Amino acid sequence: MLVKRQKVWMICFAFLYLGINIWILCRLRLLEEYTDLIALSCPAGSITESAFDQWREHADSGRYSEAAVWRKTEELEVVAEDTGRSRKMFCYRIKGQPGAVFGRGLTEGRYFIEGETGICLLEQGTARQLFGADQVSGLTVQIDGNDYRIAGILQGNEPICIIPAEEGETFDGIAVRKKDAGQSSNKAVSSLESALGCTGGQEIDGKLFYVTAWLLYAGLAAAALFLMGNAAVSQAGSRLADRIPPEQMKTAARTVIMILAIGVLVSGVMTADPGSDYLPTYWSDFEFFARLFHDKEEQIRSLSMHLEFASWISMIKAWRQAAAAGLLAGSMALALFLSARWRQNIHSTYELEDME
């Protein structure tokens, strides 16, 4: 009866562990959508329209598939003409391609294109409050007394609206999408800061969250494989002792497990593909790793404290979920290993007592 319960428990453990890993891989897949994102939030009004246009005409801008600058306005009253409902909310004036900021965060309709006027984007939460539904593309709202047709609906529940920028605007931030997600984010940020005069603000690198989540998962998965493999060896050792010398069997099995764990770790690092931003010129340059850790920690903390758009919220949420699930899976593997060692010690104690 006890053996049967142990088998049932192990099957449940295996399914739970597998489910957690599938969940982590889904979160990592979501984070992959942000690997090409670079965003800079600058002091208010520090980016001029002319500087942005000149940067786009420059050859360096050919490295990016999309680019947009934004400016946050004061609270404006948004009125739904069909229902008469209204709400005051912050609006963002955007010049360029809104997809650079929001990515695949469009749930209905389309993004507006540069040069369009009298058009806007609303988030789902705003659309539901004003119209009682989120399938409202094509309907009209009044923003600060002017009519705007809703082009599309964005993911998110924050009360904000997005409208095209007017001529001669100054902007508070820029977002770009790299054509090659593997290109250096550090060089991209330096190029943007130099061209636009945007320094001292918040920096967001989507690649950072993907890389750190993958490295954490790969490290924990390798450690989990090593621990659970050793737990399995400890359990199986006594059963096969009459056919294979125990120490010889355990040494061979642990060698195989170690090789597999190293393979998992290497595969995870290769999948993360951190690139040159995470590699020093000399491996003995330990100050490089200290600076790297400090800079990336500051970026993550900064984004956690200042989440301006729903796409940013979705990115850091997926990152936190992947990290938390990875730690949970690692804890489960450690608990299994300690449990196996405890049972082995108990079994050894009973054997000594029987010999006496």
Query: DSSP for 250-268?
Result: HHHHHHHHHHHHHHHHHHH
List the chain pLDDT tens, one digit each, 356 residues.
555 677 777 788 888 989 999 999 999 999 999 999 999 988 888 899 999 999 988 766 678 899 999 999 888 899 998 888 888 888 999 999 999 999 888 889 999 998 899 999 999 988 999 998 888 989 999 998 899 999 999 988 888 899 999 888 999 999 999 998 888 888 888 888 888 888 778 899 999 999 999 999 999 999 888 888 877 776 665 554 445 556 666 777 778 888 999 999 999 999 998 888 888 777 667 788 888 888 888 888 888 888 888 889 999 999 999 999 999 998 888 888 887 777 666 555 544 455 55
Residue 252 has a pLDDT of 77
220 near 198, Cβ under 8 Å? no
Shared domain for 169 and 257, answered yes or no, is: no
Strands (E), 7-133: 37-41, 47-48, 64-80, 86-96, 106-109, 119-123
Of the CA atoms within 13 Å of residue 335, those in its CB half-sphere come to 9
Minimal CA–CA distance to 61: which of 164, 178, 174, 173? 178
Residue 247 has a pLDDT of 66
Shared domain for 238 and 306, answered yes or no, is: yes
Domain boundary among 138, 168, 200: 200
Per-residue pLDDT reduced to its tens digit, 61-90: 678 899 999 999 888 899 998 888 888 888
Domain, as residue range, for 181: 37-200
Please give the tally of structural domains in the chain: 2
Domain boundary among 177, 200, 223: 200
Shared domain for 253 and 339, answered yes or no, is: yes
Shared domain for 58 and 188, answered yes or no, is: yes
d(CA 301, CA 356): 61
Shared domain for 139 and 126, answered yes or no, is: yes
Domain boundary among 200, 218, 253: 200
* Two structure tokens written together for 129: 């409050």
Which residue type occupies 27?
R
Shared domain for 298 and 325, answered yes or no, is: yes
Residue 140 has a pLDDT of 92
Shared domain for 235 and 162, answered yes or no, is: no
Residue 241 has a pLDDT of 47
Per-residue pLDDT reduced to its tens digit, 254-297: 788 889 999 999 999 999 988 888 887 776 677 888 888 888 88
Shared domain for 52 and 139, answered yes or no, is: yes
d(CA 73, CA 57): 27
Shared domain for 52 and 186, answered yes or no, is: yes
Residue 109 has a pLDDT of 92
Residue 216 has a pLDDT of 93
Shared domain for 221 and 151, answered yes or no, is: no
Shared domain for 183 and 316, answered yes or no, is: no
Collapsing DSSP states into helix, strand and coil, what is residue 144? coil
Shared domain for 170 and 105, answered yes or no, is: yes
